[in-house]
Structure 1
């Protein structure tokens, strides 16, 4: 049975959010925060996105496995996904589908998170699947920008998993050149030399810090 809140994860209430009566295939959209997962925790990045008014449903640190939820699955994300003009009106594609669940991965475009550990990914995919999000990636690998507008809309209409840059009308470039196959398989991902994360020279546990970190989420 689908649960509005992912079981066993921290909740940080995301404030007021839209509840659109979307129709059509369920979707999940993947983006990145633009920050080092060896330094920034999911909770810290979730609070920053909340402060900036760019809430996503989940924030996930793939090194520690920490997941924080800001919005119930029945709410619409605060972050802009993409819009296109229909009958002289702009349609926000984040309002389409039974659900459109947005996952912000603590990571950067330059270092695809699928190249490193993906701790906790199976549980995350299980929750997305409970909302009937098909375990498919219709638009192909993100980060290529080789798909035309009409093809992008057709892929979007099928539902499934998408990169932020693959939402029709999106101006985002995230999440970078990640591997859809590794995400959908629920595999743990790879590591750098000597089994250390590609992001960190030491522990995979996020360290304390003071300075704010800018986001690439548009």
Structure 2
């Protein structure tokens, strides 16, 4: 069963839930577009925590399902998957927008054109590291949203809306493609991860087995409770990196997970001739060793 709340995301439930109408499963791609920057005058990216505070406070009335920081992979969810959110304009009468599907998952990427992060300016979203995209995509896919753009993958800031397609076709839509809306974002969006490549559908194993995609380093905070942690625990034991002092609390990240995973990083480095030292061998996990650990999906 798909998770109402994405395990890798912070949960900040704004309590404003309402059902969707049913129909084709959809996801809508947005950017926050907090500032109007230019190539000549780029501006610093607005802090993630400021947007999180906005959507849980005065911005509740326009909150999406998910706020995604493509620079570090942080994610924050405000309503469960099966509830409508309010990121889309939806006038009285006419076509439904926020409710027009079995799910209508609204994803807001923390981004605006020519934002500056760590001294570098980024013109488009798909120029960013897109950290956390694979895990985010996997969660959206788990709700039946297919890897298609019925009105085309966004590549610019031009609007392209078709009410009939919106009503009838499942898949991903740009905000610029949704009826009754005037916004022209997101301008670009990362490509769907390749099947079997450790991406949105999870890494593929023998006999079609699917593994948990890397949730991003920021996900691994001590005290986090998730079935993913328990499955990671069992894999670390299976590969001979058991440094746990207790078998209790297997679904909660703790010191035993840190010690065991660091043992796995050392083993992986040695077995594959990596020669890693320093931070490459310390917590938190990185994508390469996580994919190699092959944590099964639930």
Q: Does 1:46 align with 2:52?
A: yes
Give the alignment of 1:7-86 within 5 angstroms. 7-20=7-20, 22-35=21-34, 39-50=45-56, 51-52=58-59, 53-82=61-90
Partner of 2:183: 172
1:107 CA displacement: 0.2
Q: CA deviation at 1:82?
A: 4.8
**In the alignment, which of 107, 116, 119 is matched to residue 128 of structure 2?**
116
| Change in CA separation of 1:92 and 1:146 when aligned onto 2, cut-off 3 Å | closer
Show CA shifts across 1:187-216 (max 9, x none). 9xxxxxxxxxxxxxxxxx9xxxxxxxxxxx
Q: State the superposition RMSD in angstroms.
A: 2.6
> 1-side partners of 2:15 and 2:22: how far apart?
24
Superposed CA deviations along residues 41-98 of structure 1, whole A, max 9, x for unmatched, are: 4343122123222110000000011001111001111222455x8xxx3332211110
Q: Deviations over 1:122-144 (max 9, x none)?
A: 00000001101001111113345
- Work out whether residues 46 and 70 of structure 1, in 8 Å CA contact, stay in contact via their aligned partners in 2: no
**CA positional deviation for 1:120:** 0.7
Q: Per-residue deviation at 1:146? A: 6.0
Q: Distance in 1 between matches of 2:147 and 2:105?
A: 13
| Partner in structure 1 of residue 147 of structure 2 | 135
Aligned-partner SS, 1:18: coil
- Structure 1 unmatched ranges of 5 or more: 188-204, 206-218
Runs of 4+ in 1 over 3 A off after TM superposition: 35-43, 143-147
Report Cα offsets for 1:102-161 as digits up to 9, x if no partner. 0000001563211121001100000001101001111113345464x5x45325521100
Matched, 1:93 2:97: yes
Is contact 2:88-2:97 (8 Å) kept? no
Which residues of structure 2 form unaligned runs of 5+? Answer: 36-42, 115-122, 198-217, 219-298
Residues matched between the structures, number: 178
**In structure 2, which of residues 157, 165, 168 is the aligned counterpart of residue 157 of structure 1?**
168
Secondary structure of 1:93's counterpart equals coil
1:43/1:68 contact within 8 Å kept: no
Query: Which structure has the larger Rg over C-alpha atoms?
Result: 2
Structure with greater helix share of residues: 2
TM-score normalized with structure 2 length: 0.54
Aligned equivalents of 1:75 and 1:69: distance in 2?
12
SS in 1 for 2:6: coil
